[in-house]
Amino acid sequence: MTSLPTPIEMERAYKQKDASYDGVFFLAVRTTGIFCKPSCTARKPLRQNVEFYQTPREAIFAGYRPCKRCHPMENNGKQPEWVERLLSIIDKEPTARYTDSYLRSTGIEPARARRFFQKNYGMTFQAYCRGRRLGKSLEQIRLGVDLDDVALGYGYNSHSGFRDAFVKTFGKSPGRSRTEDCIVTSWIESPLGPLVVAATSDEICLLEFTERKMLDAQFVSLRKHFKCAIVPGENEHIKLLKQQLKQYFDGTLKRFTVKLIYPGTPFQQRVWNQLLKIPHGKTVSYEDIAKQVGSPNACRAVGTANGMNRIAIVIPCHRVVNKDGELGGYGGGLWRKKKLLELERCEKVMEL
């Protein structure tokens, strides 16, 4: 679990309405009973009346309600400008080394970068950069590029240094990895908040909202199933999914065609396969799914399998509701489930 910035840092951030801290922490005001984003334009409260929380869920469970001005529950998924700028730099030169001194020279505090990447990518900024270098190196190795050329071309001063880092990440030496795969992960912005996507070289294997508490467990599950490393990056499947998600939120796409892979138990896979058959704009009950997979008395097991779905939206677990029509549960939050169903019923078109 990541930690909050220092109280002094958070106080400075909310008093200056610093949007780069949105999503890093939330401030709750005792005198009003509401919680806000740091960038909220409302009048700033006295420090002694403020409590800090890492997630909206924590603030809600502490008895606070969302601010109607800044809508802290409805993150538009937009990354802070400094993050977009930094990612663009890394994408252009993934082999470079980005030191703390370099970050400071661009006006970015290393501690802020570390916290943001840890919270949103599950790794520090330096780990992200290493992952990008090594992910690209594995791609070159699979293409048959000479190992010495790969090592020296991806920021390592020696073959032994590259080999040690490679083995630590992928579990095998570069020379034994000509046919190895890895899972690449990326960030996707959405009207309902940022999503983490992961893909093998052949299919999409994960799509989750970044704040979901099960996200760490899902990555553990992926490592177990695919027995390979997970590194930052992007491939053709992720690019296609980004395009299709934009069309989906625009209201112009009703069926995803991106390739999927979702290993699990035979029962889980029957449930997930059945979810893919639910028409756009329709809902079914857990009881319906249980009957359709041949286990009419397994409603609770269906609910568990539904909750274990690793590919949100595309495998539409949000279309499963209680028998009485109530929404039931949703790992990404009931407010997101409601928004998704509204979108699919054409009640409201979302904007990116």
- Active-site residue set: 36, 317
Give the position of tokens 């220092």. 6
∠ CA 323-260-246 to the nearest 5 degrees?
A: 80
Pairing type for strands 195-199 and 183-188 reads antiparallel
Pairing type for strands 204-209 and 195-199 reads antiparallel
Give the position of tokens 């329709």. 282
Inter-residue contact 245 to 147 (CB < 8 Å): no
- Tokens, residue 248: 């989906």
- Distance from C-alpha of 160 to C-alpha of 97, rounded to nearest angstrom: 18
Tell me how crowded residue 106 is: count the other CB atoms within 10 A of its CB. 12
- Distance from C-alpha of 270 to C-alpha of 306, rounded to nearest angstrom: 11
Nearest residue to 270 via CA among 301, 238, 312, 249: 301
Give the position of tokens 């899902």. 218
